[in-house]
Amino acid sequence: MRHPVRWIEHRSRATLVTLAVLAILLIVLRAALPSFLKREVNERLARMPEFVGHVDGVGVALWHGGYSMEKLSIRKRDGTVSRPFVTADEVDFSIAYRELLRGKFVSDVTIDGCELNFVRGPTAAESQSGKGGAWQDVVNDLFPIDITHFEVSHGRVHFVDTAGTPPVDVWLRNLNINATGLRNRAGRSEGALPASLVLDADTIGNGRLTLFIAAEPLAAQPHFQYRGSLRSVALPALNNFLLAYGNFDVSRGTFELYSEATASNGAFHGYAKPFLKDVHFATASDAKKPVLQRMWKGVLTGTEKLLRDKPQGEVATLIPFDGQFEGSTVVATLPTISNLLHHSFIEALHHGYEGTPNARAPVPDSASPGGGTRGPG
- The pLDDT score that the predictor gives to residue 192 is 86
229, 174: one domain: no
Q: Which of 92, 89, 50, 59 is nearest to 72 (CA)?
A: 89
- The pLDDT score that the predictor gives to residue 27 is 60
- Residue segments in the chain with a per-residue pLDDT below the cut of 70: 1-33, 62-64, 101, 188-189, 356-377
CA 261 remoteness from chain centre: 16
Domain with 167, as residue range(s), is: 35-183
76, 220: one domain: no
- The pLDDT score that the predictor gives to residue 32 is 53
Identify residue 229 by its one-letter amino acid code: S
Number of domains in the chain: 2
- The pLDDT score that the predictor gives to residue 363 is 34
205, 84: one domain: no
Give the domain-ending residue among 120, 150, 183: 183
List, in order, residues 6 or more apart from 356 with CB less than 8 Å away: 260, 362, 363, 368
In a domain, 9, yes or no: no
Peptide bond into 166 cis (omega under 30): yes
In a domain, 137, yes or no: yes
126: number of Cβ within 10 Å: 16
224, 343: one domain: yes
In a domain, 12, yes or no: no
Rounded alpha-carbon distances, angstroms, from residue 283 to 113, 136, 252, 298, 308: 37, 48, 9, 12, 20
In a domain, 27, yes or no: no
Largest interatomic CA distance in the chain? 113
Q: Tell me the CB-side half-sphere exposure of residue 312, using CA atoms within 13 A.
A: 20
Q: Which of 321, 306, 317, 359 is nearest to 340 (CA)?
A: 317
Q: Are 318 and 353 in contact (CB under 8 A)?
A: no
In a domain, 169, yes or no: yes
